[in-house]
Amino acid sequence: MPKNDYTLKYFKRYTKFYLQDGTDEHKVCWRVEAIDWISMPGILEINGVEYYANETEDDVDAGIVGAKIEPITNPNDSTIDILISGDTFIKPKTVYTYEFLGEDSSEWNIEAAKDAPIIYKLDTNNPKKIII
C-alpha cells in the first residue's frame, strides 16, 4: 500500500485490521507482524498473520477494530470533475495504463522519476493516455 502519514501511523506491529474476500459475509481479522518501508520507496509492505476477532471490542460486521470509525475518502469519487483512471496500487516491473478523463488537454508530468526508475511513454493514438 502507499507509504504515507496515515498508513505509517496506523499500521504498527501488533495492530489488528480486517480484510474481506469480496463478499460481505467473510471477514478475517489480521494482526501486523512486521512492516517494511525500506525496500520500495513510497510503498509500505505489511506482513500479517490471521488473528482472533474480539467481538466485544470490534464491530466485525463493519470490519472496525476497537470500535474506532475513521472514514477514508475515495480519491476517485464521482463528484470529482477531473480524473485520472488507472490502478491505484501498483507492483514493480508491471505495465500500467492511465487515462486523463477530463475535458481539458494537458501534458503528463511525472515527478517521482528522479526518485524511482520509471519508464513511461505517451499513447500515440490518444495523448490523454500514458503507459508506465
Domain boundary among 39, 54, 72: 72
- Residues 10-40 have pLDDT tens digits of 888 888 887 776 665 667 788 899 999 888 8
Range of the domain at 19: 1-72
Residues 52 and 98 both lie in one domain: no
The total domain count for the chain is: 2
DSSP for 62-93, written as a single string:
TTBSTT-------TT-TT-SS-EES-SS--TT
Q: Are both 80 and 26 inside the same structural domain?
A: no
The verdict on 60 and 95 lying in the same domain is no
pLDDT for 89-129, tens place per residue?
777 788 888 888 877 666 777 765 566 677 788 888 888 88
